[in-house]
Structure 1
Amino acid sequence: MYNVYTDLKESSIRKGWIYIELRHLEYFLMVSKELHFTKAAEKLGISQPTLSHQIKILEQEVGFPLFNRIGKKIELTKVGEIVQQEALNIQSSLQNINSQIEAFTKVEIGELKIAVLPGEITDLVSTLCIQFNQLYPSIQVLVQSTDQVEKAVLENQADFGIGFYFNRHDMLQVTKLYEEEFYLIGNHRDEEKSISFSSVLDRPLILFPKLQQCRKMLDKTSDEVGKRVEPIVETSSIESILKLVRSGIGYSVVSRTLYEFYDTEDLFFQQIEKPSLNREVHLAMKKNSFINYAARSYIDILVREIERLRFHIEKDSIASLKSFIS
């Protein structure tokens, strides 16, 4: 039985202890999610009358109705919204307890869930899985490529997430991992070490499709300089892009991450300027949430790889992250 203490200010509301069973919170959260008693009962594996009765017990204990019932439809009351938020916090705390116990009792088995933006960062994360698997072959790694990295972390669908930009959120701890530049790559050496962005757009380009993160940056920057990106070939396959560049059909614009993690020794690059193309890569974790053994180990491998490749890093951020995972 879980005790929730409420100190309500209004004189018409009783003060004291509220006694709530955890299963009542589980039932309530399912109803608040489905907003339908029959559907919630089916997912919980109990009858609808039983579920309604349990919710009534919870409402009696709280002292207020938790749902407005409008015909067959229901919606949360203001008190219901308060209970929902606190119940989610309790649920998260219980999950943390389970995670910590499992981490101490099953140090080298289990799973690691990583949320990452689609594109070259997914390639980086997946490549490092080879090294991680050699060290921890019994730990299953699940790499979720998604545009909603922040949501995946906040909803406990991932142990941590890696992306380029995160909104400020009270429940999110964000660490800048590194900053990287973009290169123009071709199959022959150019006399100049750098090239203007405007000149890049004049070259025959082989690029990722518009939905890819690198392409979005190119399109945005081209709009700012008043020109259009008009590639001669679009493909989502980095292997195809590199093959086409090698054949001399055209050039491509790739991040340093891609350049470092693929076989590009036979290709040549120029740095882009006026404007230069750069972006920051961040790691996000849920605040006050236990980071399991597998996640700590993977992050350690990631940080060491970033340092080995000599990316532009913020020493204080990396030092803080190392202290956290040690």
Structure 2
Amino acid sequence: MEIRHLEYFLMVSKELHFTKAAEKLEISQPTLSHQIKMLEKEVGYPLFNRVGKKIELTKVGEIVQQEALNIQGSLQNISTQIAAYSKGEIGELKIAVLPGEITDLVSTLCIQFNQLYPNIKVIIETTDQVEKAVLQNKADFGIDFQLNPNDLLHVTKLYDEEFYLIRNQKNEGQKKVSFSSVVDEQLILFPSIHQCRKLLNKTSLEIGKQLEPIVETSSIKSILNLVRSGVGCSIVSRTLYEFYDTEDLFFQHIENPSLTRAVYLIMKKNCLINYAAREYIKLLVREIEKLHFHTEKEAINSLHSVIL
């Protein structure tokens, strides 16, 4: 049964006149009559009683009319929802991120995103397997710190960032500090499950030392407040330092070795990037550019041309 036949039938059932219905449909009356006969043959019953020049719906015609109206309504609803989805008026956005401070970056941008698209539901999946989440369509895209070549994934390096030692007092004339001396500080750090802490633990072992923080917390706001209170100092990524109110705090660059990492955007190849994902990525890229992170311009330009 073709949708076109139902559309023709509904017009005839509305006008109860083949010639008038044909004019409204902008087809010839013989063509319309032929299409209705084809529908009647498929249904197995007459849809109209023809009494002279007048026509009326049969009982079967009334059944078909009601169901055809339901189908027409469903089709209109599909079109309406697709249009709303394509404009970001409804929908869902799923983002996969590693446990830790990158979740704060994603969550902070969600505030801006929600203001622009309040009817789009945002789901942030915190997982150690960002690539797997993207490959299994559990996320529209992911943000990761690792680059594992995979023919099924499109990976874009967003930026490189370094880690700062932050204090509540400024060390005059000391813009840099060695990592070995940082380890001996009274440190307030994220727990070991955070990616930042994993990097710190690995680096400290490489120089033959072990981190022994005086406070561990998953809350960046708690870390910043503890540093403000003079409980100790902390090591945080530039991402967090820039995204939070840290004007009353002071930072030092860490060297010997310096602590840096790359941040990657991961998407599945040859898949539709929905409107919500594109708009969120636009916000992310604009924020990165505004904060003057060290980016690979070629990669960002490619992302602009292909995705944005």
TM-score, reference length from structure 2: 0.71
Separation (CA, whole Å) in 2 of partners of 1:296 and 1:260:
24
Structure 1 residues 136 and 224: alpha-carbon distance in aligned structure 2, compared to 1, 3 A threshold = same
Structure 1 residues 137 and 197: alpha-carbon distance in aligned structure 2, compared to 1, 3 A threshold = same
| Equivalent residue in structure 2 for 1:233, among 206, 215, 230 | 215
- Counterparts in 2 of 1:10-159, with a 5 A limit? 106-107=85-86, 108=88, 109-159=90-140
Corresponding residue for residue 184 of structure 2? 202
Structure 1 residues 164 and 263: alpha-carbon distance in aligned structure 2, compared to 1, 3 A threshold = same
Separation (CA, whole Å) in 2 of partners of 1:235 and 1:142:
23
Separation (CA, whole Å) in 2 of partners of 1:241 and 1:137:
30
Corresponding residue for residue 25 of structure 1? none
TM-score, reference length from structure 1: 0.67
Following TM superposition, by how much is the alpha carbon of 1:136 offset from its aligned partner in structure 2, in angstroms? 1.2
Confirm or deny: 8 A CA contact 1:124 1:261 kept in the other structure. Answer: yes
Structure 1 residues 272 and 174: alpha-carbon distance in aligned structure 2, compared to 1, 3 A threshold = same
Corresponding residue for residue 216 of structure 1? 198
Separation (CA, whole Å) in 2 of partners of 1:161 and 1:149:
6
| Equivalent residue in structure 2 for 1:169, among 141, 145, 150 | 150
**Which structure has the larger Rg?**
2
Corresponding residue for residue 68 of structure 2? none
Following TM superposition, by how much is the alpha carbon of 1:102 offset from its aligned partner in structure 2, in angstroms? 7.0
Separation (CA, whole Å) in 2 of partners of 1:241 and 1:115:
24
Q: Which structure 2 segments of 5+ residues have no match?
A: 1-79
Following TM superposition, by how much is the alpha carbon of 1:105 offset from its aligned partner in structure 2, in angstroms? 5.9
Confirm or deny: 8 A CA contact 1:300 1:325 kept in the other structure. Answer: no
Superposition RMSD in Å: 1.4
Following TM superposition, by how much is the alpha carbon of 1:166 offset from its aligned partner in structure 2, in angstroms? 3.4
Runs of 4+ in structure 1 over 3 Å off: 101-105
Following TM superposition, by how much is the alpha carbon of 1:208 offset from its aligned partner in structure 2, in angstroms? 0.9
- Deviation string, structure 1 residues 101-123 (Cα, Å, up to 9, x no partner): 97656222111111111111111
Q: Which structure 1 segments of 5+ residues have no match?
A: 1-100
Structure 1 residues 103 and 228: alpha-carbon distance in aligned structure 2, compared to 1, 3 A threshold = farther
Separation (CA, whole Å) in 2 of partners of 1:295 and 1:209:
30
Confirm or deny: 8 A CA contact 1:164 1:282 kept in the other structure. Answer: yes
Report % sequence identity: 70
- Report the AA paired with residue 135 of structure 1: L
Q: Does the alignment pair 1:322 with 2:297?
A: no
Aligned residues between the structures: 226
Matched position secondary structure for 1:289: coil
Matched position secondary structure for 2:240: helix
